[in-house]
């Protein structure tokens, strides 16, 4: 738009007046603000030499408008340092805002060049003056450290008023804010120190204490206290391990950095994840994964969970796998402190997830233990190998000894040497004495324990040996391991990648409320985009992605009759017809079926996998869910397939012909699939029994679908079917719910029950293997006849419309 230069100059003069007033009220970076204002004034003064006639040039008018926009940006930026709310927030994150001032000065210089003004730009934009202004502004901020830190704490308290415990540790959070602001100021003046800090942050994530909400104490040890807490910027429950820093010398602090750099690189499903570390003058802490069930020691001592024998094998298996990972790293890690206190538990997919904690930090642990009131072996001596009691070195074998003691704890449910003092334990172990193993323990597990705590280190097995023995003693561990792997993979993929706590850049520092509005608006736009594709489906009454009928389609296994039925036949003799005609005989059963056929046909206009539109639409129609669920096509069809009276199938023949023809054109898949239900069906599935699922069976290629809250969840009675199939059909590209990774098993599929495992906490796992029945349970389509019908159909977009009166002749 071409604006009158007189109006532009008027806007410029108004902005200059406002800039002058703003500079008088700034609370920080006064020198740089004044310098910016002086340079704007110099440019404006030179503008007086340009006449209105000169501004008839369109390029010059454009340059004048650019200058007007630039000084408005300067005004907006300077205003952020006034006495209005949150000026201190900007100062905390950006200190003297060096780079933003440099950017604005560069834009002003560019505007002056474009306007072709007769001024000495080198003198006006003297970089030496900028450096001096920056240093002076930093000194001013340094003098306001206490004020800014206090304001940050007060602002944080306002934002977190909905959380309990924010009124605690106020002094520590204040010290944290003050430390980080002071450190940032020092780094702004010291390039070498800034580089060193960047290098350290590349080794591990530094988490400031003010970003942590410290809650109740959940554990105490020789060198640290452990608290449950919250990582605020990531909205994540964590465990905060506060190191007793008063016992650390300068060398130990350097060792701390080296060791946590190594720990941060460790990533294994059975080793506790370290998110980062807090390193402040009065606060050294590790921020690690929080395990909801606590330690194995507490679980056994307080009996908070009733552990089945299968639970105990699973825990032993996962402990060994975690230690084996540490032992087999390119640079092996010796844990040095394996005990039930450091075996941490959480619930995952209805199973117990085990992670090894407290590895690493050997030097720091030794230093703090040596100087604290606790001795280095206090609380750990029952797990110490005899060679360590003779001043020997920690090795993989000494870790194995400790694992043997943990295995004994699992088997007995008791605390080792609970009535003995340290001197008695030491003498007893060094002379070859061992704990009594209860008589009710399976012989194979007794053998594992006795081998693990052998007197001679060379006679002890490796972790890999233990893993092999556990698998041989309890073959079901392989299946449980697969379930846990899938659950772990699901959890990792759903977790947001951990990043450094957000610190707003200068261009983003428009105030927290403006930021929230922008984020909310963006979220709404993303939500609208994500739901746009489903609107055509949602126009059908009662249809929705979170409809509980979808859950029932994956879980209707409880309706399968455990009896022999007559084979399914008769449908093969009817002709292939369009989907509209195929469902006409069903209108009396499904009054609204026409609406859903229309939706399916629109969604499948360009089908995948080389299917015809009617074929693809017949699959989509099967996957559709609506209310009442008793009127969903899949529900009524599968109930009819399970009925003893096969005459009830007659109205379904045309749809079955079209549906099964479509499925026959999809490749069969041989893989492991999953189904589940929130009921205990374990008594109905006896190992080695042969069972038939007469209805079509919706399965998932990943167990994570079943673990979602909309399906089975992670608590209460549940049965998961782990199925080795060879006739499954991947129908995702033709389903209303492609994200469910649906594998459909044909009607009348027969299985052999391989095993039925009770995992505890309400979870039962039934392993099935698809088998070929002795005689056909469902009439097969004639390949030749079907091909001829398909060739007839290929000449048109849809199948030939055949009069459904043919049903009258059946």
Per-residue pLDDT tens for 197-208?
655 555 568 899
| Residue bearing tokens 């990648």 | 497
pLDDT for 9 equals 85
- Give per-residue pLDDT as tens, 667-700: 998 888 888 888 888 888 988 899 999 999 998 8
More confident residue, 363 or 162: 162
Q: What's the pLDDT score for residue 549?
A: 52
| Predicted local distance difference test score (pLDDT) of residue 798 | 46
How many CA atoms are closer than 13 Å to the CA of 734, on its beta-carbon side? 27
Please state whether beta strands 224-231 and 236-243 pair in parallel, antiparallel, or not at all (unpaired): antiparallel
Pair 78, 41: CB distance under 8 Å: no
Q: Which residues contact residue 161 at a Cβ distance below 8 angstroms, ignoring those fewer than 6 apart? A: none
CATH of 535-809, one of 3.40.50.150, 3.90.176.10, 3.20.20.140, 2.60.120.620: 3.90.176.10
CA separation for the pair 632, 627 (Å, rounded): 7
- 479: closest CA among 768, 767, 683? 767
Residue listed under structure tokens 């399968």: 560
Torsion angles phi and psi, residue 769, rounded to 5: -130, 125
CA–CA gap between residue 745 and residue 669 (Å, rounded) = 10
- Mean pLDDT for 470-490 is 72
For residue 91, pLDDT over 50 is answered with yes
Structural domain boundaries of the chain? 5-143, 295-491, 535-809
Mean of pLDDT values over 385-408: 95
- At residue 701, the pLDDT reads 80
Structure tokens at 509: 């520092």
Note the pLDDT of residue 802: 39
Q: Does residue 628 have a cis bond before it (omega within 30 degrees)?
A: yes
The pLDDT of residue 368 is 47
Q: Rounded mean pLDDT of 52-77?
A: 85
pLDDT over threshold 90, residue 322: yes
- The lowest-confidence range among 244-258, 392-406, 500-514, 762-776 is 500-514
Region 562-586: mean pLDDT is 89
Asked if residues 614 and 579 have their Cβ atoms less than 8 Å apart, the reply is yes
Q: Strand, coil or helix: what is 389?
A: helix
Residues 488 and 77 sit within 8 Å (Cβ to Cβ) = no
DSSP string, 60-105: HHHHHHHHHHHHHHHHHHHHTTSSSTTHHHHHHHHTT-HHHHHHHH
Q: What rounded mean pLDDT belongs to the chain?
A: 80
pTM of the model: 0.56
Q: Is residue 504's pLDDT more than 50?
A: no
Give the domain 295-491 fold: Transferase(Phosphotransferase); domain 1 (1.10.510)
Quote the pLDDT of residue 543: 31
Q: Name the residue with higher pLDDT: 416 or 267.
A: 416
How confident is residue 498, by pLDDT bands cut at 50, 70 and 90? very low
String of DSSP letters for 404-472? HHHHHHHHH-S-TTTT--HHHHHHHHHTT--PPPPTTS-HHHHHHHHHHT-SSGGGSPPHHHHHHHHHH
Cα separation, 543 vs 496, in Å, equals 30
pLDDT higher than threshold 80 for residue 210: yes
How far is 158 from 162, CA to CA, in rounded Å?
Answer: 9
**Which residues is 230 bridged to in the sheet?**
213, 237
Residue in this structure with the two tokens 């030749």, named with its chain if needed: 784
Which of 638, 627, 655 lies closest to 570 in space, CA to CA?
655
* Exposure on the CB side of residue 445, measured as CA atoms within 13 A: 23
What's residue 410's pLDDT?
95
CA distances (Å), origin 503, targets 108, 275, 548: 27, 18, 42
């Amino acid at each position: 738009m071409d604006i009158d230069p007189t109006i532009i100059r008027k806007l410029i003069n108004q902005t200059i007046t406002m800039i002058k007033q703003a500079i008088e009220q700034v609370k920080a970076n006064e020198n740089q603000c004044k310098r910016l204002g002086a340079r704007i004034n110099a440019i404006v003064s030179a503008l007086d030499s340009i006449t209105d006639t000169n501004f008839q040039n369109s390029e010059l008018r454009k340059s004048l408008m650019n200058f007007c926009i630039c000084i408005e940006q300067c005004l907006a930026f300077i205003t952020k340092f006034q006495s209005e709310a949150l000026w201190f927030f900007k100062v905390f994150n950006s200190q003297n805002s060096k780079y933003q001032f440099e950017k604005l000065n560069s834009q002003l210089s560019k505007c002056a060049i474009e306007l072709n003004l007769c001024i000495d730009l080198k003198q006006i934009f003297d970089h030496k003056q900028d450096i001096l202004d920056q240093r002076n502004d930093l000194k001013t901020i340094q003098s306001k450290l206490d004020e800014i830190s206090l304001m940050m704490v007060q602002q944080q308290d306002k934002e977190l008023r909905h959380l309990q415990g924010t009124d605690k540790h106020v002094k520590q959070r204040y010290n944290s804010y003050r430390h980080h602001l002071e450190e940032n100021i020092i780094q702004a003046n010291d390039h070498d120190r800034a580089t060193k800090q960047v290098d350290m942050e590349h080794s591990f994530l530094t988490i400031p204490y003010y970003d942590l909400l410290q809650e109740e104490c959940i554990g105490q040890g020789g060198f640290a206290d452990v608290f449950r807490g919250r990582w605020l910027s990531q909205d994540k429950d964590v465990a905060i391990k506060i190191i007793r820093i008063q016992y650390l010398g300068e060398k130990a602090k350097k060792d701390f950095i080296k060791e946590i750099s190594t720990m941060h690189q460790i990533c294994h499903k059975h080793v506790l994840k370290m998110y980062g570390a807090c390193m402040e003058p009065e606060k050294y802490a590790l921020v690690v994964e929080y395990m909801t069930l606590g330690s194995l020691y507490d679980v056994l001592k307080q009996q908070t969970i009733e552990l089945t024998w299968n639970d105990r094998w699973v825990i032993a298996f996962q402990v060994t796998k975690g230690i084996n990972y540490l032992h087999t790293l390119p640079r092996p890690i010796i844990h040095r402190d394996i005990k039930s206190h450091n075996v941490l538990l959480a619930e995952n997919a209805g199973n117990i997830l085990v992670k090894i904690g407290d590895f690493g930090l050997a030097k720091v642990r030794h230093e703090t233990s040596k100087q604290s009131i606790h001795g280095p072996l206090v609380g750990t001596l029952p797990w110490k190998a005899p060679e360590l009691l003779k001043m020997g070195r920690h090795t993989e074998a000494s870790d194995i000894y400790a694992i043997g003691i943990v295995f004994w704890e699992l088997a007995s449910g008791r605390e080792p040497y609970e009535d003995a003092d340290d001197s008695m334990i030491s003498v007893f172990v060094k002379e070859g004495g061992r704990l009594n193993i209860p008589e009710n323990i399976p012989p194979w597990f007794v053998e594992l324990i006795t081998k693990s705590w052998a007197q001679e280190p060379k006679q002890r097995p490796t972790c890999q040996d233990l893993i092999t023995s556990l698998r041989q003693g309890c073959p079901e561990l392989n299946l449980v391991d697969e379930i846990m792997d899938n659950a772990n993979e699901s959890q990792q993929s759903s977790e947001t990648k951990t990043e450094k706590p957000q610190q707003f850049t200068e261009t983003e520092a428009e105030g927290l409320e403006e930021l929230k509005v922008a984020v909310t608006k963006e979220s709404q736009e993303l939500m609208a985009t994500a739901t746009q594709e489903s609107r055509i489906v949602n126009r059908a009454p009662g249809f929705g992605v979170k409809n509980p009928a979808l859950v029932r389609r994956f879980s209707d296994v409880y309706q399968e009759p455990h009896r022999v039925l007559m084979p399914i036949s008769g449908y093969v003799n009817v002709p292939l017809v369009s989907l509209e005609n195929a469902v006409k005989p069903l209108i009396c059963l499904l009054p609204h079926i026409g609406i859903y056929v229309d939706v399916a046909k629109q969604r499948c206009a360009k089908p995948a996998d080389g299917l015809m539109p009617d074929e693809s639409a017949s699959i989509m129609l099967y996957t559709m869910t609506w209310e009442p669920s008793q009127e969903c096509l899949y529900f009524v069809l599968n109930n009819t397939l399970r009925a003893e009276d096969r005459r009830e199938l007659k109205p379904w023949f045309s749809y079955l012909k079209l549906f099964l023809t479509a499925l026959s054109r999809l490749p069969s898949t041989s893989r492991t699939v999953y189904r589940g239900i929130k009921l205990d069906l374990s008594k109905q599935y006896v190992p080695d029994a042969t069972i038939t699922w007469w209805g079509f069976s919706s399965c998932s290629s990943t167990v994570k679908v079943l673990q979602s809250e909309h399906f089975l969840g992670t608590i209460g009675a549940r049965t998961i079917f782990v199925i080795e199939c060879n006739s499954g059909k991947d129908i995702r590209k033709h389903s209303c719910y492609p994200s469910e990774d649906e594998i459909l098993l044909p009607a009348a599929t027969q299985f052999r029950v391989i095993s039925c495992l009770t995992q505890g906490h309400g979870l039962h796992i039934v392993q099935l293997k698809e088998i070929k029945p002795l005689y056909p349970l469902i009439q097969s389509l004639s390949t030749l006849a079907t091909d001829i019908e398909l060739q007839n159909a290929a000449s048109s977009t849809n199948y030939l419309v055949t009069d459904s009166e043919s049903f009258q002749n059946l």
